[in-house]
Amino acid sequence: MRADGRTLADIADVLGVAKSSVSLWVRDVPHERSQRRASLTRKPHAQHLAKVAEIAECDRRGVERIGVLSAEAFLVAGVALYAGEGAKRDGKVTFANTDARMVHFFCAWLRSFFEVDESRLRVRVYLHQGLDLDAAESYWSALTGIPRSQFNKPYRAVPDPSIRQTKHEFGCAYVDYACSRTHRKIMGLIRALLSSEAIPG
C-alpha cells in the first residue's frame, strides 16, 4: 500500500494499527508524492489486489496458528531471536535492532525469564544525523520501559546517499544488560536449542 502511494494514516486505518507502527514497517518502501496522487485516481491492478489479499490471508493464518504463546514457546522463541540478533561475546547481554517489534519482544522475554536489575539496563540509539534524536530516544524509552536517564551517549551516523535514500526515523536501539551470569544462561539455552538433540526426528 505504501508503494502505491497510500499515506501512513490511510494504511494505519486499514490495518487498525498505530501510525507509528506503520511508519516502522514501511520505512524502506520507496514512494513519491506523484505516485500517491496517481493512486487516488487509477484503478488497482488485479494482480496487486490478489497479492494484498494473499498477504492478508497469510497474516490471518499466522495469527491463527501461533495464537498466544505458552511460557515454554515464549522462552524458546526468545532464545532463537537472541541466537540470531544478540551479542555472543561474554560479559553482557546486548540486543540491537531497528524493528520495534523485535526490541519489544526481546525486552519482554528478558524480563520474563531472568531476574533483571532494572537499574542496570541501558539503551544506546544509533541515529542518522538530521533526524530527531529527542523523538527517537523518547520513542525507544517508551517501547523498552527504560528511562532516558539510563540511555548512553547516542551514535549519530553521517548519511551516505550512495548506499540508501531512506533512513530509519527512530534509528536502531541497542539494549544492554551488564550481567555475565545472565548472558551465560542465555548462551547455554542457545547451545541447547541448536544441539542435535533438540531437533525433532
**Contact 172/126 with Cβ under 8 angstroms?**
yes
Closest alpha carbon to 151 in 140, 165, 162: 140
What is residue 72's three-state secondary structure?
A: helix
CB count, 10 Å around CB of 179?
19
CB count, 10 Å around CB of 79?
22
Which sign, positive or negative, has the C-alpha torsion 45, 47, 48, 53? positive
> Could you give the C-alpha distances from 100 to 107, 143, 149, in angstroms and in order?
11, 8, 20
Task: For each of the domains in the chain, give its residue range(s) and CATH number, in order of start.
Answer: 8-66 (no CATH), 71-198 (3.30.1330)
Give the per-residue pLDDT at 130. Answer: 87
* pLDDT single digits (tens) 125-141: 999 888 899 999 999 99
Q: Identity (one letter) of the amino acid at 118?
A: E
The low-confidence residues of the chain, meaning pLDDT below 50, are 34, 38
The alpha helices in 42-179, defined as continuous H runs, are 46-66, 71-85, 100-113, 133-144
Give the per-residue pLDDT at 34. Answer: 41
**Contact 92/179 with Cβ under 8 angstroms?**
yes
Q: Which residues contact 26 (CB under 8 A, 6 or more apart)?
A: 1, 2, 8, 11
Whether the predicted model's global pTM rises above the 0.95 cut = no
Q: Which residues contact 74 (CB under 8 A, 6 or more apart)?
A: 109, 112
Give the per-residue pLDDT at 24. Answer: 74
